[in-house]
Structure 1
C-alpha cells in the first residue's frame, strides 16, 4: 500500500502543470516617470502616462505604435499623470486634483476638479460608462457621472486606495496602506480590497497586508496581478487571497498592464524612465 501511495503521488507530481517563468522580453526606454500604460486594440496603439520631472506642467501622455515605438504626444501640460483608462476615443487619467479627459479625435483636454482631492491616482470605468478615480492621499474614491465628479466613498477602510479595476461588476482596489501624515514612503502595507458598488461594502481579498500596492490587473486564469511600488514586486493573487511573487524588481513599479492574448505584462518603472515587457505571464 505504501508503494502504491508513493507511485500515485509521483504520478500527480509528473502530471501537474508546470508554470512557465516570466521572461523579460523587451525594455522600452526614454519614458521619463512612466507610470501607467493601456492598449487600444482598435488603433493598435499604446498610451503611456509620463510624470516626467519636478517642473510644473511637465507631465504628458504619449502614444506608442504596436511595435512600441514613439508616435506622438497626445496630451501635455499635465502635473503628475498616473492611472489611465480608455473608453472609445477618450482617455481618462488621474492628475493630482483633476480627473483629466483627453479626446483622442480632437485633441481637446478637459480637467474635471475633484473637491478636496490631493493625489488622484488610478482610473476605472464601469459598465455604465461612469468613471472612478482613487485618491491615495485622502483614502477617497471619486465617481464621475454625467460630467459631474462627486465623492463616492470616503473611508479609511479603503486603506488609501491606489489601483482600481472592475471584475464581474465589483470594484477591486490595490491599497497602498492607510496613512494621514502626507508621507506615503513610511506608510504601513495595504491589502487587496473589493467594493460592492450597490452597497459600497468593503471587504478584504488578502487577509493580511501585502505591500504598498499600485497596479492591479486580472490574468487569463482569473488571478489578480498586483504591483508593489515600494518593494518592487509583482504578485499573483488567487481569488482566495493566496499570493506568490512573480517578479522581483527595484523600487518604483507602477500601474501595470496585462495583455491576455499574448500573455505579456507591461511594467512601468517610473524611477528608471522605462517600461519592461515580460512574457509567459499566466501561461
Structure 2
C-alpha cells in the first residue's frame, strides 16, 4: 500500500509540473504578443482661430484651447470646449495678444502671452494679473510643479523662466543646450523638453531641428533623450511609464518615444500641429492645428498586429 501511495504522489507531481510548465509557456507567449498603437479620428472641432495649445480640466470635464487669433492686439483668447466637441465659449479668457502654452493648477489657469505669463481665474475666465520679466523674449509652453512653481519656456532666448509661489518671476535656466525649448513636461525632478532646435548652417542651407531632452531640476544638467533630432518639436505628454508622445510642428508628426530614445511615428496630421494633450484614463489624444484653426481628437488604442 505504501508503494502504491508513493506511485500516486509521483504521478500527481509529474502532471502538476507539466501543467505548470504549460502555464509558464502560455504566459511567456502572451508577453510576446506584438501590438501597434492605433489612432482613430473621433472629432474635428473647427473655427478655432490658430489653435495652439490644449489642456484638460477634470473638475469641469472640459478642454481649454489657446487661440492666437489673427495676430491683432487683444484678439487672442482661450476657448472652452466640451469633450464631445461642443464649443462652449471661444473667449472664455479674452483680451490676449498671442497666447500659446497653457496649464491649470487648482482654480487658476496660466497662459504665455508673448513676454507675459497671464494668470486667470478658472471659474470666471477673468485675468487676475500679468507676470513679466524684462529679459523675456518669446514665452511659449507652460508647466506647473507640485510646489506650485509655474515654469514657462522662452524659445527665442533658449531659457526657462519660473514663477515662484511668492510671485517672483525670474529666469530659471539659460542654455544653448536647451536648443530653444518649446514644450515642457515635468515628471518628478525631471523636466522633459521638446526643443525647436538650434540653427545649423548659414543662409539658405541653414537648418533647425530639435531633440527631445531632459533637464535635472536639481543639478540643472541637460541630457539628450532622442538619438537624433526629430524636427521642430512642440508638445510633450506622458503616454505611459517611460514612454512619451511628442509633436513635430514642421512635419505634422506625432511621435512615440521612450527614455532610451527609441522613437516611432504613430500619426501624421499635417504641418503646424501644436502643443498636444493626452488623457490616459480616456485614451484620448487632442491635437491643436494652428494653420488649420482646428482641434483634432483621436482615440488611441493598442491593437494586436
Tell me the TM-score normalized by structure 1.
0.90
The structure-2 alpha-carbon separation of the partners of 1:187 and 1:112, relative to structure 1 and needing over 3 Å to count, comes to farther
Determine the C-alpha separation between the residues in 1 that align with 2:92 and 2:55. 14
Determine the C-alpha separation between the residues in 1 that align with 2:123 and 2:39. 36
Larger helix proportion of the pair = 2
Residues 126 and 169, structure 1, Cα contact 8 Å, conserved in 2: no
| Deviation by residue 1:226-281 (Cα, 9 ceiling, x = unmatched) | 00001111000011001000111211000000010121110000100001111125
1:21 to 33, 38, 52: 38
Shift, 1:84, TM fit: 0.7
Instruction: Quote the RMSD (CA, aligned, Å).
Output: 2.2
Q: Does 1:34 align with 2:51?
A: yes
Q: Does 1:104 align with 2:122?
A: yes
| Deviation by residue 1:44-73 (Cα, 9 ceiling, x = unmatched) | 121110001121211100111232212222
The structure-2 alpha-carbon separation of the partners of 1:45 and 1:126, relative to structure 1 and needing over 3 Å to count, comes to same
Q: Which residue matches 1:268?
A: 288
Shift, 1:122, TM fit: 0.3
Residues 75-86 of structure 1 mapped to structure 2, 5 A cutoff = 75-86=93-104
Larger strand proportion of the pair = 2
Q: Which residue matches 2:111?
A: 93
Residues 102-251 of structure 1 mapped to structure 2, 5 A cutoff = 102-109=120-127, 110-145=129-164, 146-179=166-199, 187-251=207-271
Determine the C-alpha separation between the residues in 1 that align with 2:131 and 2:37. 43
Residues 220 and 282, structure 1, Cα contact 8 Å, conserved in 2: no
Determine the C-alpha separation between the residues in 2 that align with 1:196 and 1:57. 37
Determine the C-alpha separation between the residues in 2 that align with 1:140 and 1:187. 20
Q: Does 1:51 align with 2:68?
A: yes
| Deviation by residue 1:119-152 (Cα, 9 ceiling, x = unmatched) | 1100001111100000111101000102111000
Residues 83 and 122, structure 1, Cα contact 8 Å, conserved in 2: yes
Q: State the SS of the aligned residue for 2:208.
A: coil
The structure-2 alpha-carbon separation of the partners of 1:282 and 1:33, relative to structure 1 and needing over 3 Å to count, comes to farther
Tell me the TM-score normalized by structure 2.
0.84
Determine the C-alpha separation between the residues in 2 that align with 1:221 and 1:180. 33
Query: Which structure has the larger Rg over C-alpha atoms?
Result: 2
Residues 287 and 296, structure 2, Cα contact 8 Å, conserved in 1: yes
Residues 250 and 271, structure 2, Cα contact 8 Å, conserved in 1: yes
Q: Return 5+ residue gaps in structure 1 as ranges.
A: 1-7
Determine the C-alpha separation between the residues in 2 that align with 1:200 and 1:62. 35
Q: May I ask how many residue pairs the two structures share in their alignment? A: 271
1:68 to 68, 85, 104: 85
Shift, 1:26, TM fit: 1.1
Residues 137 and 179, structure 1, Cα contact 8 Å, conserved in 2: no
The structure-2 alpha-carbon separation of the partners of 1:271 and 1:222, relative to structure 1 and needing over 3 Å to count, comes to same
Determine the C-alpha separation between the residues in 1 that align with 2:207 and 2:168. 31
Residues 99 and 111, structure 2, Cα contact 8 Å, conserved in 1: yes
Determine the C-alpha separation between the residues in 2 that align with 1:35 and 1:150. 24
The structure-2 alpha-carbon separation of the partners of 1:263 and 1:140, relative to structure 1 and needing over 3 Å to count, comes to same
